């Protein structure tokens, strides 16, 4: 295995790890708030669950990027590509948008979602507005995801 492949694998790992950490933090923050509300208003469970899971998507995006790198480099099939060091760093860079923005956006989306959970507790009918507000934050994770995907598909493998 070449140094380039190792660097690319570290990048893929970071995408899954960092975006995953963001989602872990986010989902637990929202989960705590939602559990508190559910104790008083159990009938809101369904609505709160949607809000709680919103910051969870970033982790999935990170996972997705990591898997795409694995596919691109043939790490899943067994015929791993020998990457040059430069190409390895290029893949590393391609993983960074979702790794970093996934982490940050999940954390801050969770803050909005937590407030939305509080809002839903007081006015259950406005949960849709709360969802929309939280999803606005996720836009930037999605943009980063697109950049990462386009780079991974676009980078030369040989």
Partner 1 sequence: MIVPMKKAHLVVLKEDKEKLLKSLQRYGELMITSTSDDSPSTTQEDNMLNRTNQSLKLLTKYREKKPLFGDYNVVEYNDFINKKEESLKLVDEVEEAEVTINNLTNDNKSLQEEIKSLLPWKSLEVKPCELSLSKMAVMHCGYLESRYIEAFTRLMEEYNNIYHIYDKSKMGFAIYFINYYEEDSEIIERLRSFNYSEATFPQTDKYIKDYLDDLNKKLEDNNLIIKENQDKLLEYSKSITDVQILNDQYLNDKVIKEVKYQRTDETIYIEGWVRSDRVERFEKSIQKATDIYDLELTDPSSDDVVPTFTKNKRFITPFESITDMFSKPQSDEIDPNPAMAIWYWILFGMMMADAGYGLLMMIGVIVLKKLLKPVGKAANLYNIILYSSITTIIWGILFGSYFGFTIPGVWFWFSPMEEPIMMLIVSVAIGGAHIITGLIIKAISNFKDKQYLDILSDQLSWILILCGIAMFFIKSLQFVGIVSAIVGVALIILFHGRKKKGVIGKFAFGVLGLYDITSYMSDLLSYSRIMALALSSASVAMVMNQLASMVQGGVFGTLFSILIYIVGHVFNLVLGLLSAYVHDSRLQYIEFFGKFFEGGGVDFRPLTIQSKYINVIKDEQKEI
Please provide residue 74's backbone torsions phi and psi, each rounded to the nearest 5 degrees. Answer: 65, 25
123 is a site residue for partner 1 (CB under 8 A): no
In whole angstroms, how close is the CB of 61 to partner 1 at the nearest point? 7
Instruction: Give me the numbers of helices (H) and strands (E) for the chain, helices first please.
Output: 5, 0
What torsion, rounded to 10 degrees, do the Cα atoms 83, 73, 155, 69 define?
Answer: -130
First to last CA, the chain: 14
94 is a site residue for partner 1 (CB under 8 A): no
- Could you tell me the two tokens for 69? 């790198």
> One symbol per residue from 12 to 51: x for binding partner 1 (CB under 8 A), - otherwise; what is it?
--------------------------------------x-
Q: Which stretch binds partner 1 (CB under 8 A): 26-34, 63-71, 87-95, 111-119?
A: 63-71
63 alpha-carbon distance from chain centroid: 8
Interface residue list for partner 1 (CB under 8 A): 50, 53-54, 57, 60-61, 63-64, 67-68, 71, 76, 127-129, 131-132, 135-136, 139, 142-143, 145-146, 149-150, 153
């Amino acid at each position: 295995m070449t140094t380039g492949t190792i660097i690319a694998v570290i990048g893929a790992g970071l995408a899954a790890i960092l975006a995953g950490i963001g989602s872990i933090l986010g989902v637990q923050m929202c989960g705590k708030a939602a559990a508190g509300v559910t104790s008083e208003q159990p009938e809101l469970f369904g609505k709160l669950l949607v809000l709680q899971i919103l910051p969870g998507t970033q982790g999935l995006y990170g996972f997705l990027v990591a898997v795409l790198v694995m596919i691109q480099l043939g790490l899943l099939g067994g015929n791993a590509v020998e990457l040059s060091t430069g190409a390895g760093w290029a893949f590393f860079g391609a993983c960074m948008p979702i790794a970093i923005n996934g982490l940050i956006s999940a954390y801050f989306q969770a803050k909005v979602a937590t407030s939305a959970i509080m809002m839903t507790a007081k006015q259950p009918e406005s949960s849709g507005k709360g969802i929309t507000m939280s999803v606005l934050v996720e836009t930037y994770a999605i943009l980063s995801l697109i950049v990462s995907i386009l780079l991974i598909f676009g980078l030369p493998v040989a």
